[in-house]
Structure 1
């Protein structure tokens, strides 16, 4: 059985009414008032956050911040434990050496060529707004680093494939960048093939 939902259930059952109330307050900038009023449990709150992709199986940073804000370090520890266990069990899902080389090349091209529209691309790749905001806060004046860190975040996904990058670029009408990525990949494949 997948351990993600049991983890959320455990966190929910560990919250007091006051703590849930504090978490709801902290979520006000992200969740509408009417939705928040309907929240009766941690699971209700987590369901909304999952729906809005504030938390995902691969990105629990928003949830971690909430738990830190309500001073529940024990639950933060439990979250980190889950993330470590997930990383240990992930090697089977990781891309092979060739795919990693292609990803690295594609990321270099994208970092050099994608400008201020980078967030549109990241949304297409499934990176949450919260994660992008965190990356922007950590690298406020470095657009290239924001793009790079976001793509690194995308790579953590189980099925990160270069073909998905190209598809996402084309989906955002960044065809010139997609062409450059494909040229670079073709060059790499002819060298290694």
Structure 2
């Protein structure tokens, strides 16, 4: 399987983890003329929607415009999801022009609750952007303290995180604990997210925010080899770049 295909699948997984149930319902509604009603009703996960779009020629490794349009119109223009998609386009799509970069033209009024997922902030190479919540006010759909984060400015570990989300099993908490994420944050995330992959993904984002520049692939490898985890198989793959 070639590198582009792997990156494409990793990107779709990353995007799917950023789409909530309400977003998915709006996306399905928007696709009612593309996907027949009977199959549309059976879709319960973003990845299933992506598969259906691929089968109909509306999504491929070189054609992401339709999905990007869905993210903009059905998901409130989620900058984190669009940025994950555009990070892939930047590498594999000739003539790519980003849509979520550029200077912020207006300062939000004082007292207004705003969430920016990297919008308006020049992004250096290797950065990942997570939530910024202003004034302590949490908008609808963002309910937990673990989501009230400033900008992440550490190394880009998107591929490693995607690999771990796919590969870790039900003993994932031992791995997250070995990274040093506080137990109360692990439990909060565990309650708030439904699937194991979502829980792992959110915990690793929280760990990145905690570590900032100290976050590294080597810390992930050490945690996998910890006596409480003993996932040497995954550690070896990270060491050898086989993910």
TM-score range relative to shorter protein? 0.3 to 0.5
User: Bigger relative contact order, structure 1 or 2, given CA contacts below 8 A and separation 6+?
Assistant: 1
Q: Higher helix proportion, which one? A: 1
Q: Larger C-alpha radius of gyration, 1 or 2? A: 1
TM-score scaled to structure 2, two decimals? Answer: 0.35
